[in-house]
Structures are given as C-alpha cells and as structure tokens.
C-alpha cells in the first residue's frame, strides 16, 4: 500500500552529506538512515541497511546492483546519486523495477572544467614539481635560465575527447588561452550547436581518435565511461601521441588502460600525464604512478568546490523529494 505520510518514508544516505541537502530532507521528516562514517559502506554493509527503504542517496563508490535492489524490495522508488556519472548503478535492473534514478547532471560542469584546465597548467608548466623543489630546499641559485623548463599552453593544440558539456566548458577556457582546439566525439558537433555553446567554431576542428592523438600537444579525456570508451586510451593511442605531449584525465579511470599508460610514461612515449581518476580508487601508495616525476596525481576532486558540492547535495536531496511526492517532472532523472 502506498505510504501517504512522509514520516513513514525511509531514506538511506550512504555517506554524510552537507547541510545543504540534509536540511531539505530533514524538513520532509523522513526516517533518515545515515552512514556517518567517511568510509564508503562495503557491499555487505550496504545490503544490511537497505531493506525496505523508499529511497537511496548514494555515491560513486556504492555499487547499486541487482542484489541491493532485491534486498531493498518493492518500496524502493528512487536511487539518487550524488554524482553525474551513474555507471555504479545497474540501470537495466532499475528500469525493470520502475525505480527512478536521479543524478546531478551538469551542475558540476564548470567546476570540473576548471580543474581540467588547472591540471593542464600544472603538468605543462611543472607547477607541482616547482613547488616541491622550493619546499625541499633544492632551489639553489635564484633565477636560472634552465630551471624547470616546461611547455607553453597558449598557441598549443588541445585535443578534447568527448565534446559534451564539460568538453565544451574546457574548450571555452582554451579559446581564452589562444589554443588550437581539436575534438573527437561520437559525431561532429554542428556549427549551430557550437554557436549556442558560445564557442568560436572557426578554430575548433573535428578529428577521429587517431588523428587527434597525432596532432595534439595536450589531450584531455572528458567522455563518459561506457562499453565503447572502456580502455579507449591504450598502447595504440599513446604510441601515436607526440613524444612531447601530455595526457589529462578528469573523466573515469577505466577509460585509460593504466598499465599501458604507465609503460608509455616510463619509456617516454609521451611527456607526462595529469590524472584525477584511476582504474581503481584510491590508488595504492606503491602504485607505479606514485613514483613517477612526469605525472600530477589528484584524488578525484573534479567537482570538489564548496559551492558545487553544496549544489550537488541539494539536488541529490531534491530528486528524492520530487520522486517520493510523485512530481517526476521536477526531478533530474536519467531517461
């Protein structure tokens, strides 16, 4: 029987969220079951908490599969992920059961594009290496003609893999820096769409993946992870890149064959990489990438600005409220 009183509705929140979203859920007087630990729940722990819930507010680290949906049972109406990616949710099973899946859509686009650009600056201009040199007392002679020589950003060619919202936001930044822009996508973006996205399309050119590899000085990966993009970047791609070029990944680790990347970095097939994401997260302390100098490594923080995380928290909460009230048109749902 449908529950009419919101205080009888159970919402599982798999990790603590900021007050921006929590206060909204509290106002609805749901029964909140919250994992207060920073550590993501193990699958077993998750399955123990999920029984009979009406909604799950989850994160990228939660594997919401058939088993979890089975244990949750028929009350479950919405899985609201605090993320834009949703590859951790079994969409086929969710659709079968008519469970809605909410996500954070394009709210994090600009913040993630900022970080991608920051990574490009860091790896090209050796910003992290320079910081380390100063801190470790290795800066010996003041200004030096050959100290920390890097690679320009302006005037260089940027290859964007995936010209969706984040790719476009990176392209607008790159235009401001006077870069030449190439992109690859499922299909070329029409000129009118580029105009709508405020891009000066005259210097943005479509390339297939191989040509993009050959011509770019910097390659930024910002496509989503799916069957076609899994290990899209492998030996074949890397060996076609310029020896002086850099790879930047702010999308998903599994788009890159990490073994192939490590060997390309070791044997200087490419000049370096700046990564926010990895095949398995977190990477181990003894991962080969950690010992390399020609890499910049971040802990998956593409969307991690206070404003954006507050908006994500709010949206993840609102998606639950809208669906539990039956106001589907107000929720941001995966089609």
Binding mask 180-209 for ligand DGY (x = CB under 6 A): ------------------------------
Strand partners, 33: 12
* Min CB(109)–ligand DGY separation in Å: 10
* H-helix segments, the chain: 19-27, 43-49, 66-72, 91-96, 109-125, 127-135, 165-176, 191-196, 209-215, 235-240, 258-266, 306-324
**Can 252 be counted among the known catalytic residues?**
yes
Give the DSSP letter string of 215-262: H-SEEEE-PPPSTTTTT-BSHHHHHHS-TT-EEEE-S-GGGB-HHHHH
Binding mask 222-261 for ligand DGY (x = CB under 6 A): ----------------------------------------
Which is the catalytic residue, given 15, 100, 252, 309? 252
**Can 231 be counted among the known catalytic residues?**
no
Nearer to ligand DGY, 87 or 129 (CB): 87
262: tokens are: 């490590």
* Min CB(38)–ligand DGY separation in Å: 16
Q: Does 83 bind ligand DGY (CB under 6 A)?
A: yes
Distances (CA, A) of 185 to 116, 215, 258, 274, 334: 18, 16, 22, 21, 21
Stretch of 27-35, 80-88, 130-138, 155-163 lying at the interface with ligand DGY (CB under 6 A) = 80-88
Q: Does 162 bind ligand DGY (CB under 6 A)?
A: no
**Can 138 be counted among the known catalytic residues?**
no
Nearer to ligand DGY, 80 or 84 (CB): 84
Nearest to 161 by CA among 116, 119, 130: 116
Strand partners, 221: 161, 249
Binding site for ligand DGY (CB under 6 A): 60, 83-85, 104, 108, 302-303
């Amino acid at each position: 029987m449908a529950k009419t009183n919101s205080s009888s509705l159970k919402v599982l929140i798999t990790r603590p969220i900021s007050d921006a979203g929590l206060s909204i859920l509290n106002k609805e007087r749901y029964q909140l079951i919250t994992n207060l630990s920073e550590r993501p729940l193990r699958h077993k722990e998750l399955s123990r908490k999920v029984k009979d819930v009406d909604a799950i507010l989850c994160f990228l680290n939660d594997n919401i599969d058939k088993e979890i949906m089975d244990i949750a049972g028929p009350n479950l109406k919405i899985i609201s992920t605090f993320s834009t990616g949703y590859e951790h949710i079994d969409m086929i099973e969710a659709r079968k059961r008519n469970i809605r899946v909410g996500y954070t859509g394009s709210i994090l686009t600009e913040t993630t594009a900022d970080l991608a650009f920051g990574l490009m600056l860091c790896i090209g201009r050796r910003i992290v290496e320079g910081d380390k040199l100063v801190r470790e007392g290795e800066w010996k002679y003041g200004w030096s003609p050959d100290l920390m020589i890097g690679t320009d950003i302006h005037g260089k060619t940027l290859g964007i893999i995936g010209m969706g919202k984040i790719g476009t936001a990176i392209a607008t930044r790159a235009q401001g820096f006077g870069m030449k822009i190439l992109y690859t996508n499922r299909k070329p973006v029409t000129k009118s769409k580029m105009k709508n996205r405020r891009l000066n399309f005259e210097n943005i050119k479509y390339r297939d993946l191989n040509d993009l590899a050959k011509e770019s000085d910097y390659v930024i990966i910002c496509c989503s992870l799916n069957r076609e993009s899994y290990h899209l970047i492998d030996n074949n791609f890397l060996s076609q890149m310029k020896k002086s070029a850099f790879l930047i990944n702010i999308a998903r680790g599994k788009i890159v064959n990490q073994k192939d990347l490590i060997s390309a970095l070791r044997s200087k097939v490419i000049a370096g990489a700046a990564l926010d994401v990895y095949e398995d997260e977190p990477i181990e302390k003894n991962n080969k990438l950690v010992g390399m100098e020609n890499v910049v490594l971040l802990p998956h923080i593409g969307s991690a600005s206070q404003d954006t995380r507050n908006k994500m928290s709010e949206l993840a909460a609102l998606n639950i409220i809208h669906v539990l009230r039956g106001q589907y048109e107000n929720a941001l749902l995966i089609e």
